[in-house]
Amino acid sequence: MTLDHWGELAQQWRDSYKAFTKKLAADSSLPWKTVDEHNLESLLDILAEWKLEGFWLDEEIRALSLVWHQLEPWPDSSIGIQALNQLFRMGIILQGLSVLLSHLPAPAKVLLLC
């Protein structure tokens, strides 16, 4: 595969999240799943579609599906959230918050919970 192919695969994986959230919003009877569950399932589907099954161990695919937990936030994210907190009462309603918090550094946890 070329770098362009990998870029297409990554974009398809990102786009699957949009479809996932639209589907949930349209049909409240669908069973709930976490973003991590969706990411793993959609990655497995995409790897099968691209005929890339069997190249990685299950643990490697699972680690890849969680890679977004390791992304660095934008440098102005914290400052922006703090500014919004000055104007509005903010809170987070998020199923699976404990999973998200387990992957964040301590300062971000405090910011999210304020």
pLDDT tens digit string along 59-97? 999 999 999 888 888 889 888 888 888 888 777 655 555
CATH class of the region 3-70: mainly alpha
Is 50 or 102 the better-scoring residue by pLDDT?
Answer: 50
Instruction: Return all residues near 109 (Cβ < 8 A) that are at least 6 apart.
Output: 101
pLDDT at residue 114 greater than cutoff 60:
no
Q: Where are the domains of the chain?
A: 3-70, 77-113
Output the pLDDT for position 93. Answer: 57
Output the pLDDT for position 33. Answer: 86
Percent of the chain predicted with pLDDT > 70? 79
Output the pLDDT for position 8. Answer: 97
